[in-house]
């Protein structure tokens, strides 16, 4: 017996893999990754407000975004994920459109000079960007995180708190980041119509956000009853399989 924690088989987790092999798989993944886009609609009208860009991997050993991020972290190559996904998403956005593009940031991306540069190079795009941050890795660990966010804001980007209510993104992030938008995690959305407590919480949160001029997006909306309860709670925007699954391009 050892005190070693249980390790997933290497086909599932990158843990325990040789660095060279992992690097090879990571290279393949980056060379071949694609972006899915999921619609975010206005709660009242159902019209498209924007799309969230979501990383998708074709590398079988790194099948989902979590695995890709974990590999990037282990290899010290996390920046490359952000750089590649931004490049792909910016390439794809049609110039004759005006929707908002939501992009996920890893907190470490904030210390990457290339992030600010990539936004500064596309001044016409910056006001259409919402950068989503979570507290998965505490932002307080990143030197100058707030200064970087301020720079991005000065370029015209908006900032969203992702996964609010999920545990790793708490109310303190509201105070800390003063976001333009909050994204309510799907744990708060799931079966909202069946929980008076959730309804009360969502309603209060929406009220506070509106007082602070923060827009509220509800994530992971799957059924009509949830949609209805969210509209009644005053949510501004909806995202989830009910409204549209993530897929290639900006179809709806
Ligand atoms: O952490 P973040 O909120 O960025 O992750 C969004 C993830 O949630 C994406 O991987 C997306 O595929 C997934 N997703 C989007 N809509 C739904 C939904 O309605 N239900 C579920 N279960 N997952 C969803
Ligand atoms: Mn997100």
**pLDDT tens sequence across 22-49:** 999 999 999 999 999 999 999 999 999 9
Give 11's pLDDT tier (boundaries 50, 70, 90): very low
What mean pLDDT is reported for the chain? 91
Please state the length of the chain.
252
Please report the pLDDT score of residue 133 as a whole number: 92
Q: How far apart are CA 204 and CA 171, in angstroms?
A: 12
Is the model's pLDDT at 2 over the cut of 90? no
Mutate to test the pocket of ligand 1, among 35, 37, 38 (most ligand atoms within 8 A of CB): 38
Which protein residues have a CB closer than 5 Å to ligand 2 (ion)? 104, 132, 162
Q: Considering every ligand atom, which ligand is closest to the CA of 38?
A: 1
Question: What distance in angstroms lies between residue 1's CA and the mean position of ligand 2's atoms?
Answer: 40
Tell me which residue of 124, 136, 216 sits closest to 169, measured CA to CA: 136
Q: How far apart are CA 31 and CA 28, in angstroms?
A: 5
pLDDT tens track for 89-106? 999 999 899 999 999 999
Q: Where are the alpha helices (DSSP H) in 51-195?
A: 65-75, 78-92, 113-120, 145-154, 172-177, 186-189
Please report the pLDDT score of residue 135 as a whole number: 64
Burial of 141 (0-12, 13-18, 19+ CB in 10 A): exposed
pLDDT tens track for 209-239? 999 999 999 999 999 999 999 999 999 999 9
Please report the pLDDT score of residue 166 as a whole number: 84
Please report the pLDDT score of residue 10 as a whole number: 46
Is the model's pLDDT at 181 over the cut of 90? yes
Q: Are 73 and 81 in contact (CB under 8 A)?
A: no
Q: Rounded mean pLDDT of 117-144?
A: 85
Tell me which residue of 169, 218, 163 sits closest to 193, measured CA to CA: 218
Please report the pLDDT score of residue 134 as a whole number: 84
pTM score of the predicted model: 0.91
């Amino acid at each position: 017996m050892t005190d070693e924690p249980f390790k997933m088989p290497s086909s599932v987790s990158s843990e325990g893999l040789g660095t060279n092999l992992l690097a090879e798989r990571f290279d393949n993944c980056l060379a071949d990754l694609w972006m899915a886009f999921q619609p975010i609609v206005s709660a009242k009208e159902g019209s498209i407000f924007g799309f969230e860009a979501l990383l998708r991997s074709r590398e079988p050993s790194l099948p989902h975004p979590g695995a890709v991020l974990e590999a990037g972290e282990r290899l010290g190559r996390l920046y490359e994920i952000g750089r590649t996904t931004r490049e792909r998403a910016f390439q794809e956005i049609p110039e004759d459109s005006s929707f908002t593009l939501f992009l996920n940031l890893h907190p470490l991306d904030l210390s990457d000079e290339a992030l600010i540069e990539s936004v500064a190079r596309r001044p016409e795009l910056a006001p259409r960007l919402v950068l989503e941050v979570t507290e998965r890795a505490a932002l307080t660990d990143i030197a100058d995180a707030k200064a970087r966010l301020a720079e991005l804001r000065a370029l015209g980007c908006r900032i969203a708190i992702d996964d609010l209510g999920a545990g790793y993104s708490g109310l303190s992030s509201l105070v800390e980041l003063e976001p333009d938008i909050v994204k309510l995690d799907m744990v708060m959305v799931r079966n909202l119509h069946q929980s008076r407590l959730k309804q009360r919480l969502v309603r209060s949160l929406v009220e506070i956000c509106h007082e602070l001029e923060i827009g509220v997006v509800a994530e992971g909306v799957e059924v009509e009853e949830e949609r209805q309860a969210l509209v009644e709670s005053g949510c501004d925007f909806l995202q989830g399989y009910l409204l549209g699954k993530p897929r290639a391009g900006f179809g709806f």
